[in-house]
């Protein structure tokens, strides 16, 4: 599956901004092959989104979510200004309006650590989730994703979720992620 062109992504991102009733719909979207662990990032003031072609070629089903995620950062900045939490209620409401689950999960591509034969045999996969509170850093490794209030700080809307296959490699990869790495994945 080939990745869409930057031109097509600009069209999609512009349509998102129009849908969110953002007056200034100028936006740039580029593929940046220098990105490593981050699927995408948004430069709010510049109105620019950079996407990771390596990660998204491995998981093209994630592209719509990542594009909406980053476009919602730019829309939130234009609608509500700079002094809002990155993944707080403003951003979450834009995600919902665009039909995306606002408590986003980020797949980390640990599949590549497994032998190809094992990947081919796998029919249904189950996942393990690392749920990190962006407010207090509380972290939970969960076999089933649950939201609700953070045990550490009582916040409801601050969860960042990383998802990996429920294998020992997946668990190890999630366990090793630092809070800074999780936050960086959601830039
Ligand atoms: Zn917390
Ligand atoms: Zn983000």
Q: How far is the CA of 157 from the centre of ligand 1 (A)?
A: 9
Q: How far is the CA of 142 from the centre of ligand 1 (A)?
A: 16
Per-residue pLDDT tens digits for 36-93: 878 899 999 999 999 999 989 988 888 998 999 999 999 999 999 998 888 888 998 9
| Residues 6+ positions from 82 with CB-CB distance below 8 Å | 44
Q: How far is the CA of 70 from the centre of ligand 2 (A)?
A: 6
Residues of each domain in the chain carrying CATH 3.30.2010.10: 6-97
φ and ψ of 162, to 5 deg: -110, 140
Does 136 score more than 70 pLDDT? yes
Does 123 score more than 50 pLDDT? no
The pLDDT of residue 146 = 81
Say which ligand is closest to the CA of 186: 2
Q: How far is the CA of 29 from the centre of ligand 2 (A)?
A: 15
Per-residue pLDDT tens digits for 8-46: 999 999 999 999 999 999 999 999 999 887 889 999 999
Which among 109, 26, 108, 29 is positioned nearest to 69, based on CA atoms? 29
Strand, coil or helix: 150: coil
Q: How far is the CA of 102 from the centre of ligand 2 (A)?
A: 10
What confidence tier does 114 reach under pLDDT thresholds 50, 70, 90?
A: very low
Q: Looking at residues 108-113, what average pLDDT do you find?
A: 46
> Which CATH number, 3.40.1170.60, 3.30.2010.10, 3.30.390.30, 3.30.70.890, labels domain 6-97?
3.30.2010.10
Its pTM stands at: 0.63
Q: How far is the CA of 167 from the centre of ligand 2 (A)?
A: 27
Q: How far is the CA of 182 from the centre of ligand 1 (A)?
A: 14
């Amino acid at each position: 599956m080939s990745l869409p062109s930057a031109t097509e992504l600009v069209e999609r991102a512009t349509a998102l901004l129009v849908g969110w009733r953002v007056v200034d719909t100028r936006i740039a979207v580029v593929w940046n092959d220098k990105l490593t662990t981050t699927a995408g990032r948004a430069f709010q003031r510049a109105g620019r989104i950079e996407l990771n072609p390596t990660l998204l070629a491995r998981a093209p089903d994630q592209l719509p979510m990542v594009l909406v995620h980053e476009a919602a950062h730019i829309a939130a900045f234009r609608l509500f200004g700079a002094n809002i939490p990155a993944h707080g209620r403003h951003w979450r409401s834009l995600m919902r309006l665009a039909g995306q689950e606002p408590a986003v999960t980020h797949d980390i591509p640990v599949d590549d650590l497994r032998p190809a034969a094992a990947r081919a045999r796998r029919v249904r996969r189950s996942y393990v989730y690392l749920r990190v509170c962006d407010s207090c850093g509380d972290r939970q490794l969960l076999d089933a994703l649950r939201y609700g209030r953070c045990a550490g700080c009582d916040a409801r809307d601050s969860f960042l979720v990383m998802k990996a296959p429920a294998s020992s490699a997946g668990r190890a990869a999630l366990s090793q992620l630092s809070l800074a790495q999780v936050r960086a994945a959601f830039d």
